[in-house]
A = this chain, B = another copy of it.
Amino acid sequence: MELGEFELIEAIAGRTEAGERFEIGIGDDAAVVRGRDRIVTSVDTAVSGVHFGADRPAAESARKAVASAVSDLAAMGLGSEDTEMLVALGAPAETDDSYLEGLIDGVVDAAGEFGVELAGGDVVASPVVFLSVTVIAHIDAGTPVVGRSGARPGDVVAVTGPVGGAAAGLRLAAGLEVPALSDLSRELLITCQVRPEPQLTAAPVLAQAGASSMIDVSDGLAADLGHVARNSGVTIRIRSGEIPVMAGVGEVANVIGDDPVSFAISGGEDYVLALTIPQERFEQADTALIEATGFELLAIGAVEPAGDGDGVVILENEDGTRSDAPSGHDHFG
Contact = CB atoms under 8 A, between A and B. Distances in A.
B4 A136 contact: no
Q: Which of A1, A6, A28 has the most CB of B within 10 A?
A: A28
Q: Which of A24, A36, A86, A132 has the most CB of B within 10 A?
A: A132
Nearest to A95: B332
B23 A30 contact: no
Interface string A109-150: 000000000011111111110101011111000000101110
A183 interface: no
A49 B126 CA distance: 9
Binding site secondary structure of chain A: strand
The oligomer's copy count stands at: 2
B215 A29 contact: yes
B41 A119 contact: yes
A30 B75 contact: yes
A42 B31 contact: yes
Q: Which of A8, A75, A87, A134 has the most CB of B within 10 A?
A: A134
Interface size class of A (residues with CB under 8 A): 35 or more
Q: Which of A3, A43, A51 has the most CB of B within 10 A?
A: A43
A39 interface: yes
A290 interface: no
Contacts of A210: none
A147 B331 contact: no
Contacts of A86: 41-43, 134
A76 B23 CA distance: 13
Given A5-B333, A35-B36, 6 more contacts: A29-B148, A32-B38, A34-B37, A45-B132, A122-B132, A124-B130
